[in-house]
Structure 1
């Protein structure tokens, strides 16, 4: 269910913030799949989409106000993302373990796709983007990949569907070799193993079949255990790790958002994780500033 199913029959100029909040409350009870509650995060995304739609109408002179700008999502997120990221050292440790584990010929022959899939995920690609990547979008020599397709699970069984990326901002070029040196060699090895294809999906199993999303997630989880790093909840959490590391390194939010294929507002709201370590680091910096000032 979407907000339009609840307010789509109303005149836009007649809607109030209360009307929109009422629709969001309804989504919190029956808005999800099979009538299940829609998460706080999904309702926040829905409100954001409404705000953009009304903002466009204002710009075109169709409406005088933006009721969605004054509406709020009620309640709190079900859980925080405090543990859903790695430290830089943990990410490096995971990458090193995968490189080492799949240097074994037998393991690489059994799962030739794993090293490339994991490196692409560590570069901030969504799971659907990793699985939807085609060889025609890979520049092995330059070490870049172009994201303009996604592949997701569809319906029962092992079926998947190929479609457009999650958002317009998702269409981008990612310099994977720059992010993780050695990625071009991993991609080249997989390309050679597959017979140097000019097209077709990159992430295929040893039989040439597309890897299912659940298989990629399961392998990521088991590799976390093998590598001795905490499982961050989902492979998607590697994006949070990357975003936080970029922010701590002083990379502007617009650049980090572009790398992850998001708008700046979403990037800042959902990807920059705050926790006690961050609070302690900020206190240390603030203390040095104040100490210098008092001196």
Structure 2
């Protein structure tokens, strides 16, 4: 085998140098074959460098100079990570990746530093918002955490493919103050108490959407309410089967199975909900007769006056309109779900039943995220303590 290290003719300064060309394998991003040309001042330096490169190439540790940008790396990661995930997860990853691409996407990934990642976090916490609030303000720590997850994962892929030597985002942390502020905002977002639920229900008792809103207050997710079909409702037995969801993601309607196996469940209907569903079905039959050929029977429980299935966004806006007219505090429909599960937990329903009703596989998750002790429940606890203490 010929010597790979070649002695170069003296340069203008009379200096003799040594150069070699080595096969560097395939570019992990483009898939093209690469060669590396290395020049050193002495033969010893050239031999040492050649030995290092050959050894690292053999052990898969070789990192070559690369023009791959952060945006290139993020694109490669998204292609791998979203190949077999649900549409909502795919959109979440794309949204999270967008912040790194916007802030430092054109920077070569090999030049990215821990200081750059810290600066990215600072930018997100202070001025990265573009929608969902006042543009130019800071994002919540959960959104920042998602963006960091995406960047870490992309850099981890870069390490694995030999694009970068190490993951410079591995140890980046979100400041404690930002995490504390997010928790404070979440604590301030309280579900309805019993009195507010009663006021709202009294207001919507005669409304066309009485039954769907009762389903929300029974703990169904908005996507589960929109995905419920009449074929899954047994009004004689007084049950409904939660089997499908229907939601709007990035302007596209997605119909799919429940989020998890635990989410697929059969729930017994309270009498008032069963009665409201019977009324709603009668009303839909009247609407179908009135619309004639213009009616589009979709089979869904929640439809508009022409029988067309609606989206979670439509349901939310309809609920907000009724909250305004009822003069009750505006809450998310997810908070109505929280109100239901909190009421069940605070009124003696076993934890395992509350979790099963919610469609959760993790009992601790239900208690941690969905069960709130409102003032009325705390007052009941005080009364019980009073009995104990005399």
Q: What TM-score results when the alignment is normalised by the length of structure 2? A: 0.50
Q: Distance in 2 between matches of 1:257 and 1:160?
A: 28
How far, CA to CA, are the matches of 1:256 and 1:129 in structure 2?
17
1:289 to 2:388 alignment: yes
2:266 is the counterpart of 1:186: no
SS at match of 2:247: strand
CA contact (8 A) 2:246 2:256 kept: yes
Structure 1: tracts of 5 or more residues without a match: 9-29, 48-73, 103-107, 109-113
User: Which residue number in structure 2 is paired with residue 50 of structure 1?
Assistant: none
CA-based RMSD of the aligned residues comes to: 3.5
Matching of residue 140 in structure 1 with residue 232 in structure 2? no
* Structure 1 position 93 matched with structure 2 position 192: no
Q: Distance in 2 between matches of 1:89 and 1:122?
A: 13
- For residues 86-118 of structure 1, the C-alpha deviation after alignment (integer angstroms, 9 at most, x for no partner) is 122321221221113x2xxxxx4xxxxx22321
1:246 counterpart residue number: 344
Q: What is the alpha-carbon distance in structure 2 between the residues aligned to residue 33 and residue 206 of structure 1?
A: 40
Residue 297 of structure 2 corresponds to residue 204 of structure 1: no
Structure with the greater relative contact order (CA < 8 A, sep ≥ 6): 1 or 2?
1
Aligned length: 225
Structure 2 vs 1, CA of residues 287 and 214 (structure 1 numbering), >3 Å: closer, same or farther?
A: same
Q: Any idea what SS the aligned residue of 1:236 has?
A: helix
After the TM superposition, which residues 1-295 of structure 1 pair with which residues of structure 2 at under 5 Å, given as runs? 32=96, 34-35=98-99, 40=142, 75-76=179-180, 77=183, 79-100=185-206, 102=207, 108=208, 114-156=209-251, 159-178=252-271, 180=273, 182-193=275-286, 200-232=299-331, 234-262=332-360, 263-275=362-374, 278-291=377-390
Which is greater in Rg? Answer: 2
Residue 209 to residue 185, structure 1, CA distance change in 2 (3 Å): closer
Structure 2 residues not aligned, in runs of 5+: 1-76, 81-93, 100-123, 125-138, 150-175, 290-295
Kept in 2: contact 1:116–1:190 (CA 8 A): no
Shift of 1:198: 9.4
The answer as to whether partners of 2:298 and 2:309 remain within 8 angstroms in 1 is no
Structure 1's 285 and 41: CA in aligned 2 closer, same or farther, altered over 3 A? farther
- TM-score normalized with structure 1 length: 0.64
